[in-house]
Chain A
Amino acid sequence: MSRRITPFLFLIPTFLLVTIFVLFPVVNTIYISFLNQEGEFIGLDNYAEIFSRKDFWNPQALLEGKTHSYGALIHNGIWVLIHLPLSLFFGLLLAVLLREVKGGAIIKSIIFLGMVIPLIVGGILLRFIYDDRAGILNGFLRVIGLESLARTWTAFPHTILLALILGSVWIWVGFSMIVYSAGLEGIPVELFEAAKIDGASRWRTFWRITVPMLRPATIVIVTMTTLWELKIFDIVWVIQRGGPGSASNVMALDMYMDAFFNIPPNFGTAAAIATILTILTFGVASYMVYQMVKS
């Protein structure tokens, strides 16, 4: 009897901590999302309200192409669509290339610096990189004769989202590179030797052995990167605070504005956005965990 109970006793502290610091806030946030500013229960009104906002959900703009403010939810979606594949691609590319390069570890460390610096600092660096006068990007464009393209990329509604996404690839790619590097080290050398003996090309070896064997690493990267993209905030805030217009607005920013900038604060709509974020991230995380278990 005691041997059956003892393991559960050891779990009690963890369970208590998780309940107090994770479960209760999550449940309370969901509860608050059904309240108005006076604390009265209003059902799904907060959800209806945020979906009626053009700076949260504006698919019409995407279709018409008149403005570049598609709404925070869509901007987060665009972020995932562009940032995730690029992070995977460049992470894998760098991991594979640097594996065979002398001094690769040093180069990896330098690339990984993007992950080490605080995102606010990363955002400030991006602001400088894209600056018309001081930025290295515009300097490069001028050197190669594309001066007409030189501008402050983060100042314009049609370029800011892409500029932020590409800039964040630079910040985040160190993570995918390191995970892939670890994954590559875990692939048995015999597999490559066998493929070589069988006459497989490097390209075929890469697609038939490397990529499948990196599936667990890929799942980790996809999960972590997607979660990061959904809750992206720092870079957006420090560069243009969601502007110009709402061209770089994202969900976390909307939540922040409702909770802390509104006078009086609207915790109900902020909690509704938080709940949507939670559902999205939980969905992604659950799917990926399922894939990991399956694999």
Chain B
Amino acid sequence: MSIGNRTTDWILAVLLIIVMIVSGVGVYYSSAIIGELDELSTSQAQDYANLLAAITSSGATTEDLLEALLDAISALNVSLPLVVIASASPTSGYIPLTVSFKAVPIGGTPPYSFEWDFDDETATSSERNPTHNYTTAGTYTTTVTVTDSEQGTAVDSLTITATSAEELVVFSLWSGAEEQNFEQVLDSFTDTTGISVRHIGYTTEELLITVPTQLRAGVAIADVIIAPWPSWILNLAGEGYLTRVDDLIDTTKFPQTYLDPVTANNRIWATPFKVSGKPGFWYRKSFFTNNSLTIPTTYEEFKTLLATMQTIPGVEAPIASGNGVGWPLSDTTEAFIIGLGGYQLQLDLIFGDEQFNSTVVKDVFQELADLLQAGYFSVPDDFAAQVARVWDGTYGIYFQGSFITAFEPFASNLDDVGFFPLPETTGVTGAVDYAIIPALTDHPIEAGQLMEFLASAEAQEIMVGLGGFLAPNIDVPDSAYLPLDLEALQFMRTVTVVPDLDDAVGGAFQQAFWNQLKLLWVDPTTDLDALLQTLQDAWTSPAF
């Protein structure tokens, strides 16, 4: 074989390569610009297929090819507009997720500069092929911006999904429909962030006892806990078991009255997630209409209404009394404390500025005892079962929180359900469910993300949209509420919302309060002085 022949072979080979590259670049680049391969002409597609076959047999990657094309284009001095193609590997996985990025610029005028934005609030990179470590679960849009020597720019982006290997655990007191509603909120969080969340519904005792025991043992099984007891929360915070949430929530979005009970030493330890308003007495509208009853506007009219209802055939008692562990009775009692003694009396009792055995409190309890003695209240029975008895006319009205509209048969007949406040009241109880983060959580960042989400109007809108609850976040629009809830909310805006007395003081006082009210309800002639002294002895200064 002569040298000349060899040279000819080389020239032919190079020419062939150039022809292939030019045709390949033409096809591929067209597709990159147009973005749709199926728009290629038949001949172009055939060329492209031939090119791909050649690439496949060579073992080269797409990136290799593109780089080769880029070099070839440069050698041919072909002028093309600047485009960048970004790629990443892997594009999803568990955190900590290390991702290798590549940027392939085409066209424009070299040299190029690169700017990567990883979408996770960490430093950007100016490398062409950087590596980035995602430590927080979430869905990220990573963007690369390429700038050529003539200040032309091109942008491409990628979606990276970093998932938490271990799911977050949330404890709350919710079960049944309430739990299902809450899980919709958690699902929304998972959809947004890629962080899975497992909800565990606890009973009151389990939450009250299990969580402090776990934390004192140095274990935080839950990453976020939702509980309605401010004193309990601040006590845990005082022992150093909670993470402050000031930095996670926008405090201007919440009424101060909801934040004060969970604030200590100018630090906020919990996020208000939802509110159970206790606006007044619920009733069946048609029962009132059929019996020509009218909504009372004064306390005297209220007592007249009770007396009238007592005479209606089939009515066992005008007011249904709920039982459970005792809270239905305490809610009712607090309505009378606020209604007859003013909302300030409720606050004074919580903070210890008024004694339970004072004359003003005794007057309220005496009035309540008189109503009980008059037979205006039923014997306490299961609080949920009483809803049906109000519905069938066994009882006339029922003091409950707005959540009662989620119970049947109210839930299926909301058009026939109404409420009215205790006439002349100046305040109303709003029991807030707070979210807290244990300091010992293994997932502080993800728990913080969940906390931010729960505090958001978006999450609270989902919850109130399901009915029975009010949102503490002021950005939740009125349109998010069901009509009856909105009615309750609008009433609550006209009065002062105060904390729930027994939830706020909490602890053994709560149990004593419930037990003493159970006694008063079945034995209204009981020694009120002794009863109130028992409450005073059980009261402990709330932690806030």
Chain A interfacial positions (CB closer than 8 Å to B)? 54-55, 66-67, 131-133, 151-152, 155-157, 240-247, 257-258, 260-265
List 13 additional A-B contacts (Cβ < 8 Å) besides A155-B379, A155-B380. Answer: A67-B527, A132-B381, A133-B381, A157-B523, A241-B326, A241-B511, A243-B515, A244-B516, A244-B518, A244-B521, A244-B523, A245-B515, A263-B508
Is B430 part of the binding interface, using a Cβ–Cβ cutoff of 8 Å? no
- Give the chain B neighbours of A67 by CB distance below 8 A: 526-527, 530
In whole angstroms, what is the CA distance A264 to B208 when docked?
A: 12
Contact A245 B379 (CB under 8 A): no
- Report the bound CA distance from A265 to B508 in whole Å: 9
The CB with the most chain A CB atoms within 10 A, among B326, B507, B516, is that of B507
With A133-B381, A157-B523, A241-B326 known as contacts, the answer to whether A260 contacts B518 (CB < 8 A) is no
Residue numbers in B under 8 Å from A157 (CB-CB): 519, 522-523
A7 to B455, CA, bound (A): 66
Q: How far is the CA of A257 from the CA of B540 in the complex (A)?
A: 14
CB interface residues, B 493-544, toward A, < 8 Å: 506-508, 510-511, 514-516, 518-519, 521-523, 526-527, 530-531, 534, 540, 543
- A262 touching B527 by the CB < 8 A rule? no
Could you say which residues of chain B place their CB within 8 Å of the CB of A151?
A: 379
Q: Which of B205, B231, B522 has the most CB of A within 10 A?
A: B522
Which residue on chain A has the smallest CB distance to residue B521?
A244
Chain B residues numbered 396-436 whose CB sits less than 8 Å from any CB in chain A:
none
Q: A151-B379, A263-B543 are in contact. Are A244 and B522 (CB under 8 A)?
A: yes
A277→B50 CA distance, assembly (Å): 90
Asked whether A261 lies within 8 Å of B519 as measured between CB atoms, the reply is no
Task: Please report which residues of chain B, range 156-193, place their CB below 8 angstroms from some CB of chain A when the two chains form the complex.
Answer: none
CB of B392, distance to nearest CB on chain A (Å): 13
Please give, as numbers and ranges, the residues of chain A lying within 8 Å of B506 by CB-CB distance: 263
Provide the residues of chain B in CB contact with A155, threshold 8 Å: 323, 379-380, 518, 522
Determine whether the beta carbon of A263 is less than 8 Å from that of B540: yes
Cβ–Cβ contact B235 & A263, under 8 A = yes
Number of interface residues of B (CB under 8 A): 35
Whether A241 pairs with B515 at a CB distance below 8 angstroms is yes
B212 is an interface residue with CB less than 8 A from chain A = yes
* B515 and A246 contacting across the interface, CB-CB below 8 Å: yes
Grouping DSSP codes into helix (H, G, I), strand (E, B) and loop, the B interface class, with mixed when no group exceeds half, is: helix
Of B232, B326, B531, which is within 8 A of A263 by CB? B232
Contact with A along B204-216 (1 / 0, CB 8 A): 0100110011000
A67 to B235, CA, bound (A): 35
Give the docked Cα–Cα distance between A133 and B205 (Å).
28
B519 partner, pick from A54, A245, A257, A265, beta carbons under 8 A: A245
Tell me the bound Cα distance from A181 to B526 in angstroms: 47
Contacting residue for B514 out of A152, A156, A243, A265, CB 8 A: A243
Residue from B507, B518, B531, B543 in contact with A240 in the complex, judged by beta carbons closer than 8 Å: B518
B325 contacts the other chain (CB 8 A): yes
- A257 touching B379 in the complex, CB below 8 Å, given contacts A245-B516, A263-B543: no
CB-CB < 8 A to B231: which residues of A? 263
Complex contacts, B510 vs chain A, CB 8 Å: 261
Residues of A within 8 A of B526 (CB): 67, 245
Q: In the complex, what's the smallest C-beta–C-beta distance from A255 to chain B, in angstroms?
A: 12
Residues in chain B near residue A247, CB distance under 8 A:
519
Contact B209 A260 (CB under 8 A): yes
Q: Which of chain B's residues has its CB closest to A264's CB?
A: B235
| A152 CA / B514 CA spacing, docked (Å) | 18
User: Using Cβ atoms and an 8 Å threshold, which residues of chain B touch A242?
Assistant: 511, 515
CB of B518 within 8 A of CB of A132, answer no
Q: Which residues of A contact B527 (CB under 8 A)?
A: 66-67
Kindly state the separation between the CA atoms of A151 and B380 in the bound complex, as whole angstroms: 11
Complex alpha-carbon distance, A257 and B512, angstroms: 10
Report which of B239, B325, B379, B521 forms a contact with A241, defined as CB distance below 8 A. Answer: B325
Q: Which 4 A-B pairs have the closest CB atoms?
A: A243-B515, A263-B507, A244-B518, A245-B519
Instruction: Point out the residues of chain A lying under 8 angstroms from B380, CB to CB.
Output: 155
Contact of A257 among B232, B511, B534 (CB under 8 A): B511
Q: Which residues of A contact B209 (CB under 8 A)?
A: 260-261
Of B232, B381, B543, which is within 8 A of A152 by CB? B381
List residues of chain A with CB within 8 A of the CB of B543: 263
- Supply 20 A–B pairs (Cβ within 8 Å), ascending by A: A66-B527, A67-B527, A132-B379, A155-B323, A241-B325, A241-B326, A241-B511, A241-B514, A242-B515, A243-B515, A243-B516, A244-B519, A245-B518, A245-B531, A260-B205, A261-B508, A262-B508, A263-B232, A263-B506, A264-B235
Q: Give complex CA distance A156, B531 in Å.
A: 16
List, in ascending order, chain B residues with CB within 8 A of A133's CB.
381
Taking CB atoms, residues of chain A closer than 8 Å to B534 are: 54-55, 245
Chain B 191-209, CB-CB to A under 8 Å as 1, else 0, gives 0000000000000010011
**Cβ contacts under 8 Å, B325 to chain A:** 241
Q: Inside 8 A of A264's CB, which chain B residues have their CB?
A: 235, 239
**A243 x B326 contact (CB < 8 A):** yes
The answer to whether residues A257 and B508 also contact, given A245-B515, A247-B519 and a CB cut-off of 8 A, is yes
Nearest Cβ distance between residue B263 and chain A, in whole angstroms?
17
CA distance A55 to B147 in the complex (A): 80
Q: Are B208 and A156 in contact (CB under 8 A)?
A: no
A245 to B326, CA, bound (A): 11
Interface centre among A133, A244, A258, A264 (most CB of B within 10 A): A244
Identity of the chain A residue whose Cβ is nearest the Cβ of B523 in the assembled complex:
A157
On chain A, the residues within 8 Å of B213 by CB distance are 260
